[in-house]
Amino acid sequence: MNELTRWLRDQPSLIGTPPPLDAAELPADPHELFDTWIRHASLAGVAEPRATTLATADAGGRPDARTLILKGVDTDGWQFAGPRSSAKGAQLAENPAAALNFWWQPVMQAVRVRGTVNEAAPEESASDISGSPAGALIEPGEWVLWRLIPERIEFWQGSPDRRHIRIVYTRRGDSWTRES
């Protein structure tokens, strides 16, 4: 085992403090639970709770992932934005499937979202970048606001005794089913 591997194996994990979670009190709509969890993460000291990992894949199914900012959540989907000419832009154009992953260390919570991705109307994409310093530098049509339409949303909460909790919502049409 090399030095780095030894060092990695010595690092602590799951050292946060999860909040109490009452399985009998879970909302029917996962977006309500996400609202509760991300605000709680912020209050618990997560400096950038809306930072998320976006996973995409190219046409051949080769995966990729990067960090970006969740810009909004509404009934149409989970919003994020970036340049059309980026790797994510090319991958989403050829394979409009994606996943988001949030991890909030101090509260031992993670949220995972899978679905298909739509490009927002050009005016919405333009208004996402307008007013920002980058807005003036970017060519018209280059900045894109995307929406991930979720099919599955998983809430995971770690526990110091390793009895971790996983709550999975799956969508059928307009309604959500909770699996656990």
- Binding-site residues for FMN sit at 66-71, 88, 156, 166
- Between CA 55 and CA 97 the distance in angstroms is 9
Distances 99 to 12, 39, 151, 155 between C-alpha atoms, Å: 27, 21, 10, 14
Kindly state the smallest distance separating residue 82's Cβ from ligand FMN, in Å: 3
Closer to ligand FMN by CB, 26 or 68: give it.
68
- Between CA 167 and CA 22 the distance in angstroms is 11
DSSP 99-147: EEEEEEGGGTEEEEEEEEEEEPPHHHHHHHHTTSGGGGTSPTTTEEEEE
- Between CA 142 and CA 126 the distance in angstroms is 9
Kindly state the smallest distance separating residue 49's Cβ from ligand FMN, in Å: 11
Tell me which stretch binds ligand FMN (CB under 6 A): 61-69, 100-108, 118-126, 168-176: 61-69
Tell me which stretch binds ligand FMN (CB under 6 A): 24-32, 62-70, 158-166, 169-177: 62-70
Please tell me whether residue 62 binds ligand FMN under the rule CB under 6 A: no
Please tell me whether residue 166 binds ligand FMN under the rule CB under 6 A: no
Tell me which stretch binds ligand FMN (CB under 6 A): 27-35, 59-67, 115-123, 165-173: 59-67
Q: Under a CB-based contact definition with an 8 Å cutoff, are residues 77 and 148 in contact?
A: yes
Q: Under a CB-based contact definition with an 8 Å cutoff, are residues 107 and 41 in contact?
A: yes
- Between CA 177 and CA 132 the distance in angstroms is 39
Q: Rule CB under 6 A: choose which of 43, 69, 76, 135 binds ligand FMN.
A: 69
Q: Rule CB under 6 A: choose which of 30, 41, 73, 88 binds ligand FMN.
A: 88
Please tell me whether residue 57 binds ligand FMN under the rule CB under 6 A: no
Report the interface residues with ligand FMN, using CB under 6 A. Answer: 48, 51, 64, 66-69, 81-82, 86-88
